[in-house]
Amino acid sequence: MKNETTAKRSNLRLVWPAGEYLASYIHALEQGWSPDNTRAEAGREELARIREDPKRFLAEQVDREARGGPVVLPDGSTVERLPGYKLWMWDGEFAGIVGFRWRPGTTDLPPTCLGHLGYAVVPWKRRRGYATQALAMALEEIRKERLPFIEITTDEDNVASQRVIEANGGRLVERFLKAGAYGGGKGLRYRVPLEI
């Protein structure tokens, strides 16, 4: 991927996390936004990590070898990190995040990982179509991993997220109950084909 991918309908781009965008990312965290839809405290944890070592924080946003520490689940338990990376939504300021994780050579994920991809838009930039555009742009980058498809999950009552996924070719493949580590509840699993 070049340094950015531009959406056709707006000035939204996906950028690799970098120092030039960090102040705006910090501002979003300071407003109470969390990059993890399942853990509000993740935003505070990221602020602490940035304050401790901003260069290291940025470097950890692209972790294709899964060298980072364990991942904290919503119930506080931890699991081994998968290879992955984050892309930031940018429209002149930080607008949200797309996170992708996978196991090289397979579409299989451990049961502790709900899906290959997650995304979150800051509250003050929602209802602009950013999630739909960002997912489309992220899929261009994800295709480089040569997976036949990715899976994305959402809550059964999250109609907005369902529309984002469906607008990007996602097809419902399963209704399921989320594991206790995720607080239980009903979930939907979508499959998004990547082969052209």
| CATH code assigned at 106 | 3.40.630
Tens digit of pLDDT for each residue in 114-125?
899 999 999 999
Tens digit of pLDDT for each residue in 134-184?
999 999 999 999 999 999 999 999 999 999 999 999 999 999 988 766 777
Sheet holding 171-177, edge to edge: 149-155, 186-193, 171-177
Mean per-residue pLDDT, 176-193: 86
Count of structural domains within the chain: 1
- In this predicted structure, the answer to whether residue 40 has a pLDDT above a threshold of 50 is yes
Least confident of 21-35, 138-152, 182-196: 182-196
Residue 134 lies in a domain: yes
- In this predicted structure, the answer to whether residue 9 has a pLDDT above a threshold of 70 is no
Residue 171 lies in a domain: no
Is pTM beyond 0.85 here? yes
More confident residue, 98 or 69: 98
The CA distance from 182 to 111, in Å, is 11
Residue 36 lies in a domain: yes
- In this predicted structure, the answer to whether residue 73 has a pLDDT above a threshold of 80 is no
Residue 187 lies in a domain: no
Degrees (nearest 5) of the Cα angle 176, 151, 87? 130
Q: What is the pLDDT of residue 5?
A: 45
- Domain holding 51, by residue range, is 4-146
Degrees (nearest 5) of the Cα angle 72, 1, 23? 55
111 confidence band (pLDDT: 50, 70, 90): confident
- In this predicted structure, the answer to whether residue 109 has a pLDDT above a threshold of 70 is yes
The CA distance from 11 to 15, in Å, is 12
Residue 81 lies in a domain: yes
Residue 25 lies in a domain: yes
* Beta-bridge partners for 150: 192
Tens digit of pLDDT for each residue in 75-106?
778 888 899 999 999 999 999 999 999 998 89
